[in-house]
Structure 1
Amino acid sequence: MTETAVLPVLDITPLAHGSFAERKAVAEQLDRACADAGFLYITGAQFDPAVFARALARAKAYFAQDEAAKMASYIGGSLNHSGYVPVGEEQFANATPDLKEAFDINCDYLPTDGRRPLLGPNLWPAMPGFREDVLAYYEHVTGIGRQIFGAFALALGLDEDFFDAHTQHPPSQLRLIHYPHDPAAHDRPGIGSHTDYECFTLLHATTAGLQIVDRDGEWLDVPLLPNSLIMNIGDMMEIMSNGRYVATRHRVKKVAQERYSFALFHACDYDHVVAPVVRGEVPRYAPLKSGEHLFNQTAQTFRYLKERVARGELVLNDAVPLDSFGRNVEAARA
């Protein structure tokens, strides 16, 4: 593994084409990077640049439409929390509303034993080619994520296929995010400070703007690395690793230039109970239900869901505060 000035760089090519010994070596490097930083760059021969390019072209065309056309697919009208997210819809805790718009794709799956809030048919726009190219991106990066789940299993001392049984129909969400050009953005957040809720995130971005909190509680700029994805630990992997890996708080700040980013949040199945899996250690975290945690955190962030909670239409069971995971950032500069 080589190092940049900011984050570790990990080549995951052997996860697709290597021997068990080579995959185990990648897992050991992944373990070190996640224990030390919680954020890293991922490179690999399995990345298909054409899939990334087609998804970016569709996103640019979609977000270039007028507001009325985009609001025809408003996320508040979906069955599985998918669709268009207008500027100002999201707000973390008491922060200012996020300066971005997005299109969210969730798990397009209908359970046979009752409805789950994040599972169901996606709400797609009536734009030719959008669904096909965005789904191709979703499936491509989800496949990369399955390989990384195998590496995490080895890193945690488990069988390589440990996560297979727990990721059959996960509510793993893809967010196509657009940060409009804003010359005044130096004092406004693109996305407020937060940790991700799932196991890990794979991010593709067109320009810089991401910042993470380092061990000293300072905000650190993360530059882009060509032909790579940015990866970070989420709440659920912090729990499963029993705190060996810590979800790192991050934000998008000072986005004056137009920026696109695609974040795919890799989760376990909706009903999977997330708990420490490291053998021989006393559990430091209480178990929580995967999908319930995702939905509870989402409902504390999105305006349309917060309104439903306020009206008594939604009741959040066992919800934890949004800042329950990650390093203490009291010293971080706002």
Structure 2
Amino acid sequence: MSGDFDAIPVVDISDLRAADPMSRRAVASEMGRAAREVGFLYVRGHGVDEALFTDVLAAARAFFDQPLDVKMASYIGGSVNHSGYVPEGEEVFPGGAIDRKEAYDLNLDLPEGAGSAPMLGPNLWPEDSAFRAAASAYYAAVAELARRLFRGFALALDLPEDHFEAHRQAPPSQLRMIHYPFDPAAEDREGIGAHTDYEFFTILRGTAPGLEVLNGRGAWIDAPPIPGCYVINIGDMLEAWTNGAFTATTHRVRKVAEERYSFPFFATCDYETVVEPDPRLVPAGQTPRYPRLVSGEHLFAQTARTFAYLKARQARGELVLAEGQSSFGRPAAVR
């Protein structure tokens, strides 16, 4: 569980690109402290060009401003790699209410036939070349930031700096472009209910307050945007890989007081990566705290529990999920 924190630490990660290994380790130590004690941190000095975010935000605004029938032409249910438009009501956590949001989901854009797993393949794109160009450029920049953060987290765990790179040849990391509409007369509903993220970690940029993080006392702590910073939070798979040394902290998006856009990038490893506690992080004589799972199978199984089109495919017998892919982060009741 996360600790007794009242604020989320800010870490300057500029020196993750330093030639001096001691400088890189110093930054990694700060990252590791936040990952252990809070499960969240802000990072500055990340190297992502601000113009790329400006462009992807403009592309998102233009897309979501269109009529619903135009957006539904890119409905995620018509994709081969779980990409496309997600209308309000499509995504519901088990036992939860309908989230007050719409989204456009994008994955690593692979050529036709390049991958046979459910999350791999060509993205479903709208007929808007500016949208595709802006989203592709932003995805590439944040994916590079994810690579550096993986190296930093490896150092924070006293593992080789390139520890995760063998597992990241074509990872199905997902970029979500999320729109939280504001209607003061609408029902009082959360933007996203309480949950932890499935992947290794999330890189988030948002345009307005709304994100809240649950501390060890059960209090919700605000995580508003900080100019020039990204929010990073630990996901289920990295918590499991570290045998619980890093914490996947529960968070939510409260009812927004203004229109809000959010761009989470869910950084993960290759589909076939085996996720289980690293033996070096399990104390001698103790049993690992987490079961052995396959990264992509677990990710897709959890995704299929929340998306209406995937649940419909299961009900028709068109989709059979791998067995044993239960949530190993927070219990399903609070996801």
Bucket of the pairwise TM-score, normalised by the shorter protein = over 0.9
Is residue 302 of structure 1 aligned with residue 302 of structure 2?
no
Instruction: Name the CA distance, whole Å, in 1 between partners of 2:32 and 2:264.
Output: 22
Aligned with 1:89: secondary structure?
Answer: coil
Aligned match of 1:181: 182
Aligned match of 2:253: 252
Instruction: Name the CA distance, whole Å, in 2 between partners of 1:314 and 1:320.
Output: 15
Aligned-residue offset at 1:109: 2.2
Moved more, 181-190 or 50-59: 181-190
Aligned-residue offset at 1:74: 0.3
Instruction: Name the CA distance, whole Å, in 2 between partners of 1:294 and 1:329.
Output: 18
In structure 2, the CA distance between the partners of 1:272 and 1:16, relative to structure 1 (3 Å rule), is same
**Mapping 1:44-63, distance limit 5 Å:** 44=45, 46-63=47-64
Instruction: Name the CA distance, whole Å, in 2 between partners of 1:286 and 1:136.
Output: 36
Aligned match of 2:74: 73
Aligned match of 2:295: 290
Aligned match of 1:105: 106
Is residue 127 of structure 1 aligned with residue 145 of structure 2?
no
Q: After superposition, what is the alpha-carbon deviation per residue over 1:26-62, rounded to whole angstroms, capped at 9, x for unaligned? A: 1111110000000111111512111110110111111
Aligned-residue offset at 1:98: 0.9
Contact 1:34-1:40 within 8 A present in 2 as well: yes
Aligned with 1:268: secondary structure?
Answer: coil
Instruction: Name the CA distance, whole Å, in 2 between partners of 1:328 and 1:272.
Output: 23
Instruction: Name the CA distance, whole Å, in 2 between partners of 1:186 and 1:11.
Output: 40
In structure 2, the CA distance between the partners of 1:226 and 1:5, relative to structure 1 (3 Å rule), is farther
Moved more, 74-83 or 152-161: 152-161
Aligned match of 2:191: 190
Point out where structure 2 has 5 or more consecutive residues left out of the alignment.
Answer: none
Q: After superposition, what is the alpha-carbon deviation per residue over 1:116-150, rounded to whole angstroms, capped at 9, x for unaligned? A: 00000000000131111101100001101100100
In structure 2, the CA distance between the partners of 1:214 and 1:175, relative to structure 1 (3 Å rule), is same
Contact 1:39-1:248 within 8 A present in 2 as well: yes
Q: How many residues align?
A: 327
Aligned-residue offset at 1:152: 1.0
> How large is the Cα RMSD of the aligned pairs?
2.1
Aligned-residue offset at 1:178: 0.3
Moved more, 184-193 or 41-50: 184-193
Aligned match of 1:93: 94
Moved more, 215-224 or 115-124: 215-224
Aligned match of 1:140: 141
- Counterpart selection for 2:330 from 297, 319, 326: 326
Contact 1:189-1:253 within 8 A present in 2 as well: yes
Point out where structure 1 has 5 or more consecutive residues left out of the alignment.
Answer: none
Instruction: Name the CA distance, whole Å, in 1 between partners of 2:98 and 2:296.
Output: 25
In structure 2, the CA distance between the partners of 1:120 and 1:185, relative to structure 1 (3 Å rule), is same
In structure 2, the CA distance between the partners of 1:298 and 1:131, relative to structure 1 (3 Å rule), is same
Contact 1:105-1:173 within 8 A present in 2 as well: yes
Moved more, 69-78 or 100-109: 100-109
- Counterpart selection for 1:314 from 303, 306, 319: 319
Moved more, 257-266 or 274-283: 274-283
Instruction: Name the CA distance, whole Å, in 1 between partners of 2:80 and 2:274.
Output: 23
In structure 2, the CA distance between the partners of 1:66 and 1:111, relative to structure 1 (3 Å rule), is closer
Instruction: Name the CA distance, whole Å, in 1 between partners of 2:331 and 2:313.
Output: 31
In structure 2, the CA distance between the partners of 1:113 and 1:42, relative to structure 1 (3 Å rule), is closer
Instruction: Name the CA distance, whole Å, in 2 between partners of 1:319 and 1:217.
Output: 30
TM-score by length of 1: 0.93
The percentage of counterpart residues that share the same residue type is 52
In structure 2, the CA distance between the partners of 1:157 and 1:65, relative to structure 1 (3 Å rule), is same
Contact 2:6-2:221 within 8 A present in 1 as well: no
Q: After superposition, what is the alpha-carbon deviation per residue over 1:53-111, rounded to whole angstroms, capped at 9, x for unaligned? A: 01101111111111111101000000000000001111011111111000000122259
Aligned-residue offset at 1:219: 2.1
Aligned match of 1:117: 118
Instruction: Name the CA distance, whole Å, in 2 between partners of 1:146 and 1:72.
Output: 33
Aligned with 1:204: secondary structure?
Answer: strand
Please tell me the residue identity of whatever aligns with 1:300. R
Contact 1:55-1:134 within 8 A present in 2 as well: yes
Instruction: Name the CA distance, whole Å, in 2 between partners of 1:177 and 1:196.
Output: 15
Instruction: Name the CA distance, whole Å, in 2 between partners of 1:240 and 1:285.
Output: 8
Aligned with 2:253: secondary structure?
Answer: strand
Please tell me the residue identity of whatever aligns with 1:244. A
Instruction: Name the CA distance, whole Å, in 2 between partners of 1:277 and 1:74.
Output: 39
